[in-house]
Homo-oligomer: A and B are copies of this chain.
Amino acid sequence: MANKPSIPKGTRDFLPVQSLRRQYIFDTARKVFQQFGYVPIETPAMELSETLLGKYGDEGDKLIFQVLDSGEKPIKASQQKLSKINLKEVFREVTKELIIELVENLEDFGSNQSLEFSEGLIEQWLLEKSSLIGLLDKGIQNDVASSLAPLIYDFYINSIYYKWRHGRADQSRVEFFNYVTNPPVRKRLIEESLTSFERKYTSELSKYEDLSRDIIIGRKELYTSASEKALRYDLTVPLARFVVQNQNELSFPFKRYQIQPVWRADRPQKGRYREFYQCDVDVIGSDSLLNEAELLCIIDEVFTNLGLSDVRIRINNRKILSGIAASAGISEHFQTMTVAIDKLDKIGVDGVKEEMLRNGLPEAGVKKVLNLIKLKGEATGTLKMLAGAVVGSEEAYKGIDEVKSVLKALPEAVREKVELDLTLARGLNYYTGAIIEVGHDDFPSSICGGGRYDDLTGIFGLNDMSGVGVSFGADRIYDLMEEKNLFPETLKAASQVLFVNFGKEEVMSAIRLAADLRTEGLSAEVYPDEAKMKKQMKYANDKGVRFVVIIGEEEHRAKTATVKDMLSGEQDALNQKDLVSFINDKLS
């Protein structure tokens, strides 16, 4: 390959500084999650396709990457071969030869042999025939053979014996064998057998033709092999699968976090990648609203620790939205309503209104909905007004109570930051209670979001496991932090100290001193090659090394060193034995 190498579209390499910064985000989140008693899990990148497919809607299914073993290609090649075969012709030939062989073999049995040659024997012959021809796929071959064998056996014994019995009443087996092995009789028998057999197995064969056609066009086999494994699309479905599969190993309520990549075959564009990380934190098996409150504290803590204490944390409750729909008389359009409301930021009130009307919602209902969701201001007041407006909707009341409880369980400092936003809908997600979304005024998309599912694990057969959680969008948080220049200066892709390499002898002091610095917890490296001073200094500069230590011939002899502080430009000469404390002083 002489072309410049590249990577699949929508995927990215991360250079050292980027990797360090990503790691910083993950470590910060991880630390907070653990402080709140959440524990990590990891699930495999590949899940069984049946685990993933059908969980994200038709559109989601299309975005799932399916995984093949390389070894699965030969299956396709044999399917290709098979597609060129007229299966009926092949079977007719095989059967014809088989019957001729059977009759010929009767001669060898001799008059004192038992007639009871087994079905197994016929099956074996049939298999040998078809494998000699070598055209049939192994799976089909066994299937056909074992199913055709008794048919052939029955036909053969019955038709021949019947004919013989009919001609001569109650004869001995010796006479039967003499009869069927008489050449002209045999010839006629073979012909009659073939004709009658072909008629009999036509219906049987048609089954196998269908099967082979399935294989040829890939409807069955190929599909199955291609869809056996797939890359995970998010961390929520794998979590549900994990909880059900490992339920006996877990303590409930199960508070877990998970920081792993997910893959989506989305059309790549700015800020949208085909591989990206999710940081999910969820509680499974508790419907207490303290969990919602705790997650809001976690959100506040993570973003504050990242220097983003000015994020906008918005909450709402699907029960409130459902109650609003009910009181506006459009309950049956709930999904349409939430999907439309979800676009409010993008298309404005008029756009939302238009979308709802276009989808057949009555104008009065739409108007009422839009009036209600635009209620704003301090949460207690808003909830009070809302309660007055949705009179009679039990569900709305329940949602209102839930929001109140969540807010009550928040420490004052967090409560002040959380905003009740009735226009928050998270349209396509199957949340049933709280919904949460975090944004930032300087960033176009949400950077964290989640909510409660009443029955998270039901899809895998474990009922009554409520789940609530949020997902941090690490890649977007990265972009936002970079834009706002929030990464610590210390996240440099460099060691703190670089020793210049002056040659075989001098470098020995450097190696020893570098080890001393590392023992003190510092990072230090020795330039490996005896390159020109200028080149080594450029390396230190490019990487952002803080101190360059020079031990030339003279310094080596005198056990001294010259230290250059690349930040201030200052240069100091000192004894080698004082180096560690010198650097430590400078850094503290």
Residues on A lying within 8 angstroms of B by beta carbon are 1-8, 11-16, 18-20, 22-23, 34-37, 39-48, 50-51, 61-74, 76, 79-80, 83, 217-219, 222-223, 226, 228-231, 241-242, 244-246, 249-253, 255-256, 261, 263, 265, 274-275, 283, 286-288, 290-291, 293-294, 297, 301, 409, 411, 459-461, 493-495, 498, 501, 507-508, 511-512, 515, 518, 521-530, 539, 542-543
Contact = CB atoms under 8 A, between A and B. Distances in A.
Contact of A45 (B40, B275, B512, B526): B275
Given A37-B523, A46-B275, A229 B8 contact: yes
Contact of A36 (B22, B23, B525): B525
A30 B169 CA distance: 88
A530 B289 CA distance: 11
A59 to B, nearest CB: 10
**How many copies, total?**
2
Contacts of A249: 15
B62 A40 contact: no
Given A48-B7, A73-B226, A256 B40 contact: no
14 contacts: A2-B461, A7-B245, A8-B46, A13-B41, A13-B42, A13-B43, A16-B40, A34-B495, A36-B525, A37-B495, A46-B65, A218-B218, A253-B528, A290-B511
A303 to B, nearest CB: 15
A265 B44 CA distance: 14
A18 to B, nearest CB: 8
B66 A65 contact: no
Contacts of A288: 501, 528-530
A241 B48 contact: no
B62 A6 contact: no
Given A22-B42, A528-B291, A518 B36 contact: yes
A13 B246 contact: yes
Contacts of A217: 79-80, 83
Given A3-B461, A290-B511, A495 B35 contact: yes
Given A14-B43, A65-B70, 17 more contacts: A7-B245, A8-B46, A19-B41, A34-B495, A34-B523, A39-B493, A62-B71, A73-B226, A79-B217, A253-B527, A253-B529, A288-B528, A293-B511, A301-B518, A409-B507, A411-B511, A411-B512
B37 A528 contact: no
B47 A7 contact: yes
A46 B11 contact: yes
A481 to B, nearest CB: 17
Nearest to A461: B2
Contact of A494 (B39, B43, B71, B508): B39
A67 B65 contact: yes
B290 A5 contact: no
Contacts of A66: 67-70, 72
A527 B73 CA distance: 52
Residue in A46, A275, A294, A461 whose Cβ sees the most chain B Cβ within 10 Å: A46
A39 B67 contact: no
A45 B42 contact: no
A440 to B, nearest CB: 24
A522 B16 contact: no
A5 B245 contact: yes
A-B residue pairs, 7 tightest by C-beta? A37-B525, A11-B44, A16-B39, A37-B495, A288-B528, A19-B40, A14-B42
Contacts of A80: 217-219
A14 B41 contact: yes
Contacts of A229: 8, 65
A41 B70 contact: no
A265 B20 CA distance: 31
A584 B255 CA distance: 24
